[in-house]
A and B are shown apart, each in its own frame.
Chain A
Amino acid sequence: MAKKFLDPHEVKPILGTEGWEEMYPFYYQFSKTDKERMEYESSQLWFYDGLHYPEPHYPFDLIWDEAWYLALSQYNTRVFMVPPAKGIDHRIVNGYVYITPIGIADPKEIESRIPLFQKRAGYYYENWDKIYDKWVDKTKELIVELENISFPDLPEIEDESIVFDSKGLSSGYNLGIKYDELINMGFKIWQYHFEMLNLGYAAYVTFINTANEVFPDIPMHNLTKMVSGIDTVMYRPDEELIKLAKLAVTLEIDSLIVSQKKFDTLAKELKKSDKGISWLNALEKARYPWFYISTGTGWYHHHISWNDNLDIPLSSINMYIEVIKEGKNPSRSTEKLIKERDEIVEKYINLIKNEDQRNAFEETLKIARRVFPYVENHMFYVENWFHSVFWRKMRELAKIFANNKIIEDAEDIWYLNRFEIKSLIDDMVRAWATGIIPAGRTYWPEKIKNRKVIIKKFQEWTPPPALGTPPEVVNEPFTIVLWGVTTGVLKNWLRSLEGTTSEKITELHGSPGSAGIVEGKARVIRTVEQLDQLEKGEIMVAPTTSPSWAPVFTKITGAVTDVGGPMCHAAIVCREYGLPTVVGTGNATSVIKTGDLIRINGNEGTVKIVESR
């Protein structure tokens, strides 16, 4: 077995992508000049963050990575003073983000951080519910602020209010300011995002560890079941669809609705009747905010929300109508789930004979449950709701660039990074102010054309699961729970590293995501757009998945992901749907080919290629 992964400085460039580095901030590059930094980089384990990024980064989309790079790290290192863990460092290789957790090795330094952590984190744990309520309020406020930002095109003649209100500021100046505000809001929401998340995970991980001490073999999904909320915000969008489907049946307009695939034509039909109008009103009410759920993870500009394209929720509503017409109830039975959860907890607790152990189990379970609503729900507010509105605002802005013929198409904007867009605006408003042709008119389209080729090449490249030097043991809690990167997983990755050069891999190892064994035809899905290729009964093999791929989960019989731990989105959703799932296999999307017959064992976390296509 190999001892090390490829050194990050030795990753081979892809021909035809020369100059790709300028698409991203300079601090995302593995160093080529700073010897000390290079040494540090070689000594770390860098793993590909496929959990968040199944695709290479478009230059602008890296904003969210920049946002959490700062936010997660600062809370660990400087705010809550997590004793043994600093931040998570980030780099980019051929468009793919690699990350590495920074630990603290010096026991004295750890020691000195303990009292600060106790005081600061303790305050959050004690006042968790109150702080969470406040968190929801300020997050919603920020979203309102975001909604209120608008990007009107630069006027030929400034409005006279500038003169008569003696404002003293022009639309051109304001445009630059508003762009800054938009970007800052993006960073701000991520400051909020990590305000409570690290502590939430720490409490959750503690429960997992405590439970593992008592029950060393307890399946992770049972632990998750014990802490999971039943009425979580993340399930609301889907529940709203079910409500609308039920309402359609009650109003006896279901056959009309099912007959339409396009929302616009359907709306026209519905407006002809009172019943139709009242259904449309109900839909309108559900849209804010619940249709701000992303069709992907929310991390990419093309992960549009239901609100951006109502045909998407409509197809799900139609699916639910069919289920209802078959006489079935598509709603989750929350009562049953609660009863099941409570029974499992009680039975496990009854098995603990030692009183101290039982106390520790009960107390850590209690705190895990206290923090869990945040852990589950923040995703809706940030990655779904905020991001969806943010992308829409960026598109408004991009339209101005297109109108001014600085870029050919508004959707080209994503090929420029946030700094470049700022300078594009600077050039554009100066040209507008001066009454001349902007310099960017030929500069940006040329770059964008090149970058389209580069991104395409990046998409065809399979990033290795890890680079650099693996540590003796992985013990950074977030790395383990979220990304599923454990010492054992690293070993498997190292093993498969050899497999690719010598023999064909027929078995992959990951973490059990959701129990059950299933055999079926594999379908490799790399991007959201490929989702409609899935056929009923297939097993989805994806870099990672999103909870909002709801209709997909009714189609497939199982799922395999490259990245993710037992707490990743894919694992949670698949458990909800009872689909056998293996997460964190490292390289399933490159080893498994569409059409392969595979058998996945969600109890043990193994995937076997039974028959290659």
Chain B
Amino acid sequence: MRELNQLYTIWYDELRGSDYGLVGKKNANLGEMLHAGIPISPGFAITIHANHDFIEKTGIRSKIETLVKKNGEATDENIKKLSKAIMSEIESADIPSEIEEDILENYHRLCEKCNLDAVPAAVRSSGGVSMPGQMETYLNIRGDKDLIHYIKRCWSSSYNVEAIHYRVNRDMSVLFNIGVGIPKMVHSKVSGVIFTLNPINGDFSKISIDASYGLGEAVVSGLVTPDTYLIDKVTLELIKTKIGSKEIKCVYETYGSDIKKIDVDDELRKKSALTNQELTYLSETAVKIENYYGKAYDIEFGIDEDLPFPENVIVLQVRPESIWNKKKDMSGKAGKPADVMNIILNNLISGIKAG
């Protein structure tokens, strides 16, 4: 039996957060989210070990070492030259067949799972150390040839100028292997944003969902008036629905990662973008995310066209809600027992605010 650290690929559902040493942080986090019951796009990680064996077996590793030694002082000029040389080495090399075959076999499994010939995937770098934004992510990659090409681009991106700078400045080794993530591109027929509270009044017992057709771009950047739903967090009942006008939707151009805007049919515009079943599932997911992180969260999601329910409900991104979390943090300290008589009195005098 092979050891985990000898594997070239590991599916997200087999990963946990503590596995960042094997696959990088981003990949490990996805595994952790899945484990917490948060649905993410299906896919697998290419391990740091794969990157390691690739540069080892192709002889790139010794070339890098030589290049680094030759390089001398870490001037901008030198680092630029070094980066260019290493990146071209990586991109022009062939991946050893045992690694390539492993990756492709898993990619084919992903295709099968999604019922597509060449499923569009993202190729995302995932370092063992956070270096935010310094490594590349490629969207909408389809087919064996492109996949392999962009995996190499991804590996080489850890030697771009900024990345080398970053490491050199921190006394880290220039040589740096990373993990790569291959999730299915979410082909959102509907997407939107969830708050695990009502962002309008800060009601923590509510979940608010905005949704519209197509990619999340339309909702996030306010290109359309989305449908809005308010759901009770405790009972998961739908309290309010407001159907938005949803004039347009954003979709990917057939090839590449460019986005185009197209009109939505009148008939569809009048309909609720989400089904009750999807709403309930999204609400359950939102509660899981909030419980997992322990505070109110802001969640981007998509409903994937290629997958059956409930696998089609996919969380794209999560971040802590920024306004009400802070406001409600000032939890009153010395909680005096409330004087009910006074509360009743005040209520009678000030009257009912509702309605």
Q: A interface vs B, CB < 8 Å?
A: 82-85, 110, 114, 117-118, 121-122, 125, 202-203, 205-206, 208-210, 212-219, 222, 344, 347-348, 351-360, 362-364, 366-367, 473-477, 480-481, 486-489, 515, 603-604
Q: Are A489 and B355 in contact (CB under 8 A)?
A: yes
Per-residue CB contact flags for chain B residues 132-174 toward chain A (1 = under 8 Å, else 0) read 0000000000000000000000000000000000000000000
B195-231 CB contacts (< 8 Å) to partner A: 198, 201, 203-206, 230
Task: Select one of B205, B328, B330, B351 contacting A218, CB under 8 A.
Answer: B205
In the complex, what residue of chain A is closest to B342 when comparing beta carbons? A118
Are A202 and B235 in touch, CB under 8 angstroms? no
Q: Is the CB of A363 within 8 A of B333?
A: no
Kindly list chain B residues whose C-beta atoms are within 8 Å of the C-beta of A347. Answer: 233-234
Q: Which residue of A lies closest to B232 (CB)?
A: A219
Measured CA separation A387–B57 after assembly (Å): 96
Q: Which residues of A contact B351 (CB under 8 A)?
A: 84, 473-477
Please state if A118 and B341 are interface contacts (CB–CB under 8 Å). Answer: yes
B237 lies within 8 A of A477 (CB): no
Q: How far is the CA of A477 from the CA of B349 in the complex (A)?
A: 10
Residues of the B chain whose Cβ atoms lie less than 8 Å from the Cβ of A604: 239-241
Contacts of A215 in B (CB 8 A): 203-206
Q: Determine how close the nearest CB of chain B comes to the CB of A374; give it in whole angstroms.
A: 16
In the complex, A515 Cα to B235 Cα: how many Å? 11
| Complex Cα gap A360–B347 (Å) | 12
B69 CB-CB contact with A under 8 Å: no
CA distance in complex: A362, B352 (Å): 19
Query: Which residues of B sit under 8 angstroms from A121, Cβ to Cβ?
Result: 341, 344
Contacts A348-B205, A353-B204, A604-B240; A208 near B354 (Cβ below 8 A)? yes
Residue B348 contacts which of A85, A216, A218 (CB distance < 8 angstroms)? A85
> A222 to B234, Cβ gap below 8 A?
yes
A-B contact sample (14 more), CB < 8 A, given A209-B354, A352-B204: A84-B349, A84-B351, A122-B341, A206-B343, A209-B353, A217-B239, A222-B234, A348-B234, A354-B328, A354-B332, A355-B333, A359-B337, A474-B351, A477-B347
The reply to whether B331 and A355 contact each other, CB–CB distance below 8 Å, is yes
CA distance A19 to B233 in the complex (A): 58
Interface residue B336 (Cβ < 8 Å from any Cβ of A)? yes
15 contacts between A and B (CB under 8 A): A84-B349, A84-B351, A114-B345, A125-B340, A205-B347, A206-B348, A215-B206, A217-B232, A218-B203, A351-B205, A354-B328, A359-B337, A360-B338, A603-B237, A603-B239
Residues of chain B within 8 A of A209, CB atoms compared: 347, 352-354
**A544–B230 Cα gap in the complex (Å)?**
29
Given the complex of chains A and B, what is the CA–CA distance between A213 and B328 in angstroms?
13
Q: Map CB proximity to A onto B312-323 as digits: 1 under 8 Å, 0 otherwise.
A: 000000000000
Q: Is the interface of B mostly helix, strand, loop or mixed?
A: loop
B232, A218: Cβ atoms under 8 Å?
A: yes
Across the interface, do A363 and B340 meet the contact criterion of CB distance under 8 Å?
Answer: yes
Q: How far is the CA of A354 from the CA of B336 in the complex (A)?
A: 12
Among A206, A222, A474, A603, which residue has its beta carbon within 8 angstroms of that of B344?
Answer: A206
Cα distance, A213 to B232, chains bound together (Å): 16
Determine if B336 and A351 form an interchain contact, defined as CB atoms under 8 angstroms apart: no
Inter-chain residue pair count (beta carbon < 8 A): 149
Q: Give the contact-size bracket for chain B.
A: 35 or more
Are B338 and A83 in touch, CB under 8 angstroms? Answer: no
Q: Which of B332, B343, B345, B347 contacts A118 (CB 8 A)?
A: B345
Is the CB–CB distance between B353 and A359 below 8 Å?
Answer: no
- Give A212 to B344 CA distance when docked, in angstroms: 14
Closest 5 CB pairs of A and B: A475-B351, A486-B355, A355-B335, A356-B332, A363-B338
A356 touching B355 by the CB < 8 A rule?
no
The interface residues of chain A lying within 8 Å CB-to-CB of B238 are 603
B343-A219 in contact (CB<8A): no
When distances are taken between beta carbons in the complex, the residues of chain A under 8 Å from B206 are 215, 217
Max count, chain A CB within 10 A of own CB: residue among B330, B347, B352: B352
Given A359-B338, A364-B340, A486-B355, is A83 in contact with B348 using a C-beta cutoff of 8 Å? yes
In Å, the complex CA distance between A477 and B347 comes to 9
Whether A203 pairs with B239 at a CB distance below 8 angstroms is: no
Considering only CB atoms, which chain A residue lies closest to B354 in the complex?
A212
Is A83 a contact partner of B349 (Cβ separation < 8 A)? yes
Q: Does B75 contact A (CB under 8 A)?
A: no
Closest to B334 in A: A355
Least CB distance, B105 to chain A, in whole angstroms: 46
Contact check, B338 vs A364: say whether CB atoms are below 8 A apart.
yes
B348 touches A84 (CB 8 A): yes
Q: Is the CB of A216 within 8 A of B352?
A: no
B234 x A356 contact (CB < 8 A): no
Q: What is the distance, in angstroms, from A360's C-beta to the closest C-beta of chain B? A: 4
Bound-state CA distance A50–B351 (Å) is 23
- Does B329 count as interface, using CB distance less than 8 angstroms? yes
For A474, give the chain B residue with the smallest CB separation.
B355
CB distance from B339 to the nearest CB of A (A): 8
Q: Is the CB of A351 within 8 A of B343?
A: no
Shortest Cβ distance from B198 into A: residue: A217
Which residues on the A side are within 8 Å of B343 (C-beta)?
Answer: 206, 210, 360, 363-364
Pair B203/A480 contact, Cβ less than 8 Å: no
Do A356 and B335 have beta carbons less than 8 Å apart?
yes
B240 near A475: Cβ-Cβ < 8 Å: no
Indicate if B92 sits at the interface (CB-CB under 8 A): no
Cβ-closest chain A residue relative to B350: A475
Nearest-Cβ distance from residue A329 to partner chain B, whole angstroms: 24
A603 to B237, CA, bound (A): 9
Q: Which of chain B's residues has its CB closest to A511's CB?
A: B355
Question: Are A344 and B348 in contact, CB atoms less than 8 angstroms apart?
Answer: no
Checking A83, A117, A222, A487 against B355 with a beta-carbon cut-off of 8 angstroms, the contacting residue is A487
Q: How far is the CA of A362 from the CA of B339 in the complex (A)?
A: 11
For residue A344, which residues in chain B have a CB less than 8 angstroms away from its CB? 234-235
Q: Which residues of A contact B333 (CB under 8 A)?
A: 355
Whether B354 pairs with A82 at a CB distance below 8 angstroms is: no
How far is B330's CA from A530's CA once the two chains are assembled, in angstroms? 58
